[in-house]
Amino acid sequence: MSLDSSPIVVAAAETARELTADAARLEREGVDRALLDRMAAAGLLAAYGPPELGGAAPAEQRRVAELLAGASPDAWFVWFQHGPVVKMLRASENADLLAKHLPGLCSGRELGGVAWSHLRTAKPSVFATPVDGGWSLSGSQPWCTGWGLTDVVLVGALVEATDQVVFGLVPAGDRTEMRSAGELTLAAMAGTSTHALRFDALSLSDSEVVLLTDRGRWAQADQAANCNVQPSTFGIALAALELLADREPDTAMQLRPRLLELRTRAYRLLDEVDPGQQLDRRLDLRAEALVLAMECCTALLAARGGQGMDLGEPAQRLLRAAAFQLVHSQAAHVRAATLEALVA
């Protein structure tokens, strides 16, 4: 069976057609739960789950991400933030928590979000203190997408006076011990309901812990994963080239082979090489893809001219989405590789 005839890819392509027509409104008015419920009914929220719950193969996951990102970056990003919750819970040793939440997350009865990006920085800002039967979490998390849409949130914290990190799955929603510190005003992904969060003695019971591990071990795995190109980068660039082909086919024909060849190399690394190997090569490919995606989207905007600056036009929306990819899941090593590629 070819990749494009895979049921979950077919469902993503059908959803993408709907999203493309609605992308301007979704950015302006925001992604709503009704849309996410339709994506769940199509099986898209199960993409990162186990096969018995509708999970997809890695190549299928990548193609779904490409299609959604190219159609509506806002809808893609809310969908994307659900994935790490499913993946981390699926790998958890907490069998009771897995049994309680994983089926609902894969079916879409529950929508997940994440709140641990601060752990990627030199100065973590959410801390966990051991208490009877669990942990107490306090501090600030600068970024949590889907706030007000999600049912559960995967919170990460640095354990005080240790070099451990703890991740727990807690109910989402404003309350005294966990609340929004304000919605972020974003140049891209404005419709994703992304908020900063504040934690004040949030109770995390041992039964809610997904993972407790050494921070260095976690950071090493996270940094290795972030060396890889995000499929969304290719999805945004491919969507721009499809529109560019209608306006300036010669330009699109020059850019497309470069993009497809780069995509082949990047995905071959993912499929054929151990995740911890050839990290410099992975970083170079990610940086090259980021720069090329900006070129593709810039070409589309140039071809559209002044029309492209209308907020209802896809040209500037895709260009801003490509710019967002420059900072998406970024850490110091990704930033350095990207800047080097831009200078080159």
CATH of the domain at 95: 1.10.540.10
Question: Is residue 70, in this structure, part of any structural domain at all?
Answer: yes
Give the pLDDT score at 74: 97
Give yes or no: residues 147 and 51 share one domain. Answer: no
Question: Is residue 118, in this structure, part of any structural domain at all?
Answer: yes
Among 52, 87, 107, where does a domain finish? 107
Give yes or no: residues 177 and 242 share one domain. Answer: no
Question: Is residue 90, in this structure, part of any structural domain at all?
Answer: yes
Q: What is the tally of structural domains in the chain?
A: 3
Give yes or no: residues 94 and 124 share one domain. Answer: no
Gap between the Cα atoms of 208 and 117, Å rounded? 19
pLDDT(29) > 80: yes
Q: Are 115 and 156 in contact (CB under 8 A)?
A: yes
Give yes or no: residues 99 and 117 share one domain. Answer: no
pLDDT tens profile 52-109: 999 999 999 999 999 999 999 999 999 999 999 999 999 999 999 999 999 999 999 9
Give yes or no: residues 269 and 328 share one domain. Answer: yes
Question: Is residue 162, in this structure, part of any structural domain at all?
Answer: yes
Question: How would residue 331 be classed by pLDDT, with cut points 50, 70 and 90?
Answer: confident
Give yes or no: residues 233 and 306 share one domain. Answer: yes
Give yes or no: residues 209 and 239 share one domain. Answer: no
Mean pLDDT of 152-172: 96
Question: Is residue 219, in this structure, part of any structural domain at all?
Answer: no
Range of the domain at 168: 112-214
Give the pLDDT score at 268: 97
Give yes or no: residues 237 and 335 share one domain. Answer: yes
Give yes or no: residues 90 and 34 share one domain. Answer: yes
Give every CB contact of residue 207 below 8 A, 6+ residues apart in sequence: 94, 96, 97, 134
HSE-CB for 168 with a 13 A CA cutoff: 22
CATH number at residue 143: 2.40.110.10
> Between the CA of residue 307 and those of 71, 297, 300, 302, 303, what are the distances in Å?
19, 14, 11, 10, 9
Question: How would residue 152 be classed by pLDDT, with cut points 50, 70 and 90?
Answer: very high
